Chains A and B, each alone.
Chain A
Amino acid sequence: AQSVTQPDIHITVSEGASLELRCNYSYGATPYLFWYVQSPGQGLQLLLKYFSGDTLVQGIKGFEAEFKRSQSSFNLRKPSVHWSDAAEYFCAVKSTASKLTFGTGTRLQVTL
């Protein structure tokens, strides 16, 4: 069965600093991978997705993620964090059964 691990429960960065959120997945076939962001009391907004091809994918709000098959990772990065990026971030893998399996999330706090 597929699974997703986000090892960092909570991360604090200063505004303007770079950010990397870690995601490791377990899935037998070529994975479809996603990053979503959730602000308090809101639904999930899609940041970016990887299906195939170029292993570095660009998303909205200046985010990017790199797929590394050898490490089973799909880490999310942003070169310069803004205060409005404070939220919870979820990595997910989609199975062939149209079901998303999510990680436990990483809460990002941004200090000014």
Chain B
Amino acid sequence: KAGVTQTPRYLIKTRGQQVTLSCSPISGHRSVSWYQQTPGQGLQFLFEYFSETQRNKGNFPGRFSGRQFSNSRSEMNVSTLELGDSALYLCASSQVTAEETQYFGPGTRLLVL
């Protein structure tokens, strides 16, 4: 079974631009979560989608948004980019079970100049 895939793997943007990142979950997984990883703040939860609905949200500003499609693929969008948005963005997928073990993709490295 193929793992979680994320595109693009690397991205360079300038301040004020917006960006869209994509995540394809493991086949059969219906829950997709997004995390931001930075050297200063570590791994932080952004949001989680299930059945095309945002089920949980972390403490990030409204510039960070996401969506999920009927095939469970997910996108996250960051508008009006700031230098501090430079990070590794990780997507994880899970089955809907009590444990909901999350399996991570390779991440998208975003650099904001």
Q: Which residues of A are interface residues toward B (Cβ below 8 A)? A: 32, 34, 36, 41-46, 49, 51, 90, 94, 97-105
Residue pair A46, B48 in contact (C-beta under 8 Å) = no
Residue pair B101, A34 in contact (C-beta under 8 Å) = yes
Known: A43-B107, A44-B90. A101 touches B45 (CB 8 A): yes
Kindly list chain B residues whose C-beta atoms are within 8 Å of the C-beta of A32: 99-100
B58 within 8 A of A: yes
Q: Which residues of B are interface residues toward A (Cβ below 8 A)? A: 4, 6, 31, 33, 35, 42-43, 45, 48, 50, 55-56, 58, 90, 92, 94, 98-107, 109
The DSSP consensus for interface residues of chain A is: strand
CB distance from B101 to the nearest CB of A (A): 6
CB distance from A64 to the nearest CB of B (A): 17
Known: A98-B33, A100-B33, A102-B43. A42 touches B107 (CB 8 A): yes
CB distance from A65 to the nearest CB of B (A): 14
CB distance from A43 to the nearest CB of B (A): 4
Residue pair A100, B45 in contact (C-beta under 8 Å) = yes
* A6 (CB) vs chain B CBs: closest residue: B42
Kindly list chain A residues whose C-beta atoms are within 8 Å of the C-beta of B100: 32, 94, 98
Bound Cα distance from A59 to B92, whole angstroms: 19
Residue pair A43, B56 in contact (C-beta under 8 Å) = no
Task: List 11 other contacts, CB 8 Å, given A43-B107, A46-B104, A98-B55.
Answer: A34-B101, A42-B106, A44-B92, A45-B104, A94-B99, A94-B100, A94-B102, A97-B48, A98-B31, A98-B50, A105-B42
